[in-house]
Amino acid sequence: MSDPVLEAKGVAKVLGHGAGEVHALRGVDLSLHGGELTLLMGPSGSGKTTLLSVLGCMLAPTSGTVHVCGHPTENAGAERLAELRRNHIGFIFQSYHLFPTLTAAENIQLALDVRGEQGEKARTRALDALARVGLSHKIKSYPREMSGGEQQRVAIARAIVSDPSAILADEPTAALDSENGQAIMGILADIAREPGRGVLVVTHDSRLSVFADRIHHIEDGRIVRVEENSARPENLRAAAGAPR
């Protein structure tokens, strides 16, 4: 197995102070490897999003270590963490978080712009990413002109356009109907097929487990079980209708 693109060891996170103190994570170990789609499942309040925030370099752990493509996040300042996110991680959010005043292509290009990639080359890369999620016909569409499923595809294109090693998705299908949800997961599974790129999806929807190579179950801030999904059908992507 290749080196993990994201690795958490003994990660604990305490939120709040005094009487309001909550132990959101209690010594979590988790590795995300390239070429794999991993699901992080658990009930509400189990620590899924907190773990995603820590792995995504948005939240510093109270204890334990996190490595992003081999880079430690310990003692890293806000700008260094932003740099790690910029260079190694793509994010997909439950509510898409697209910019309403930018077109689909511009939304995607923004992920390159923050990296200093501009001009025609960046534009071409953005259009390629849009084509990859099957939305070449929506280049000039604004988010308000697209369905939820289409907006989430644009968000996926934004996450992959800079070619990050890790994709972190927070409940990417929660706001979608079943058909769109399956399609989105198909695209993510397809992305995870690429060597050197790992996809971690946070969800509480057990129907998505068929797409996963590995499933981490989290409860009360602890990983209570890890399942390997050796029977994952390779044709799920095609069955979900995801574009290649």
Partner 1 sequence: MPLNFTLASRNLLHDRLRFVATTIGIVFSVVLVMVQMGLYLGFGHMVTRMIDRSDADLWVMRRGTKCFEDPSLIDARKQGAYQAIPGVASAEPLVIGFSDWHMKSGAITPVFIVGSNLNGIGLRPWDVVKGSVDSLSQEDAVAVDETYHERLGTSGIGSTAEIRGQPVKVTVLTQGIRSFTTTPYVFVDMNRARTYIGIPKTYANYFLIKLKPGADAAQVSKAIEAQSPTYEVLTQGQFAERSRTFWLFGTGAGTALFAGALLGVIVGTVIVAQTLYSSTKDHIEEFATLRAIGSSNRYIYKVIMYQALLNAVIGFVLAAIIGYAVVLFTRSGSLPVVITPWLMGAIFLLTVVMCVASAFTAILRVVRIDPVVVFSR
- How far apart are CB 33 and partner 1 at their closest, in Å? 22
In the complex, which residues of this chain contact partner 1 (CB under 8 A)? 49, 52-53, 56, 58-59, 78-79, 82-87, 89-91, 93-95, 97, 99-102, 106, 109-111, 113-115, 118, 158, 170
- How far apart are CB 225 and partner 1 at their closest, in Å? 23
Query: In the complex with partner 1, which residue's Cβ is closer, 50 or 182?
Result: 50
Give first-to-last CA distance, the chain, whole Å. 26
- How far apart are CB 237 and partner 1 at their closest, in Å? 25
- How far apart are CB 195 and partner 1 at their closest, in Å? 23
- Nearest CA-CA partner of 51 in 156, 184, 208, 170: 170
Query: In the complex with partner 1, which residue's Cβ is closer, 26 or 86?
Result: 86
- Map tokens 């068929």 to a residue: 210
Q: How far apart are CA 130 and CA 128, in angstroms?
A: 5
**Residue 201, exposed/middle/buried by CB under 10 A (0-12, 13-18, 19+)?**
buried
Query: In the complex with partner 1, which residue's Cβ is closer, 61 or 186?
Result: 61
Query: In the complex with partner 1, which residue's Cβ is closer, 65 or 118?
Result: 118
- Nearest CA-CA partner of 159 in 197, 111, 196: 111
